[in-house]
Structure 1
């Protein structure tokens, strides 16, 4: 048996921004009462796990205004409207980490916060890295850090790595890399 799917009876747009928009959907189940769902519309994103020749993962550390702290994260970025995720991945790797990938391996993806957001994030492993930087976005000051895959669980359990998108991507990449790529 599957859960019921509600019917959307109205959509009210509240905000249109450069990267996100907000709408309120009014919906209901068959003959039930109407209810509202606030939805953050997002064009989607990519998250990158760049791996050096010696098997180190390149993460970034930057200040995040919403969290009001410096966070250690996997490199990630928002897709332009209609942009192929692979194009976004190549651009973000150069902007945030300063490398071009000889190989960009898609390993799936995930919904970032499906309870209130339409953002889907595509995950890529980047290998065969060559230096090739692009200017970073305004408002970004990023420091690149090398870590060992073996340190991931410690970084998560101690709270040094606490961005859920990064954690999901890193754990997926760790499995794929150790089982299929590194050999």
Structure 2
């Protein structure tokens, strides 16, 4: 039996059940897109610790063939954590790919077989030292589908508690923890100081939810 979900429902359906449903939907002939590209050949050209790079030969809808360079990623989670004082907990860290320090919400990749909800709890604790009483799925999205399959799950955390002995993060991560109010966030977005995509998605959700209250 295939469960049919609307896009809004999919955005809040997470974990192994979500993954299996999505996989089954993609296999159903009736759900194939008219512009789907059939994979004819796959060549793996890089196998790294975090990601793999593949070159695919595909058949186009018009019968011609082409090449696609694809980055395979295990997926990730991110957390919009809001304190009782209505401040967002964020981290500032240097990102080598961008060659600059970025202000972001806590985030991290999924371990093999890890439930996204548990990963979100882990990343929040490791990166910020916080735990939260309530953690709810908000949405999930592809970060750059033109060349990567990374799919990131966004959660909203409330009822935050600072832990006295939190789990340690990765040895190669150096971060500063920030707690920013709404006005500070808006100004940082306007000035371009906050320019990370997942963070902008999360903050937009927060501002929309606050505006409804």
> How high is the TM-score relative to the length of structure 1?
0.92
Is residue 67 of structure 1 aligned with residue 82 of structure 2? no
1:161 corresponds to 2:194: yes
Match among 108, 120, 127 for residue 77 of structure 1: 108
CA distance in 2, matches of 1:35, 1:152: 43
Match of 2:26 in 1: none
- Aligned positions of 1:1-183 closer than 5 A: 4-132=35-163, 133-179=166-212, 183=213
Displacement, 1:139? Answer: 1.1
Structure 1 residue runs of 5 or longer lacking an equivalent are none
Query: Number of matched residues?
Result: 179
The CA deviation at 1:177 is: 4.9
Q: Give ranges in structure 2 of 5+ residues lacking alignment.
A: 1-32
Matched residue of 2:112: which SS? Answer: coil
Q: Aligned partners of 1:18 and 1:102: how far apart in 2?
A: 33
How many Å separate the matches in 2 of 1:79 and 1:150? Answer: 32
3-state SS, counterpart of residue 103 of structure 1: strand
User: Going by fraction, where is strand more abundant, 1 or 2?
Assistant: 1
1:25-81, CA deviations, whole angstroms, 9 ceiling, x for partnerless residues?
Answer: 110224532111111111111111110001110111011111111111111100001
- What is the CA deviation profile of residues 114-138 of structure 1, one whole-angstrom value per residue up to 9, with x for unaligned ones? 1111111100111111122211112
Deviation, structure 1 residue 152? 2.7
Secondary structure of 2:127's counterpart equals helix
Q: 2 CA distance for matches of 1:138 and 1:174?
A: 34
- Structure with bigger helix share is 2
Distance 1:74 1:43, change over 3 A: same
Report the Cα distance in structure 2 between the residues aligned to 1:66 and 1:148, rounded to whole angstroms: 28
Q: SS at the partner of 1:13?
A: strand
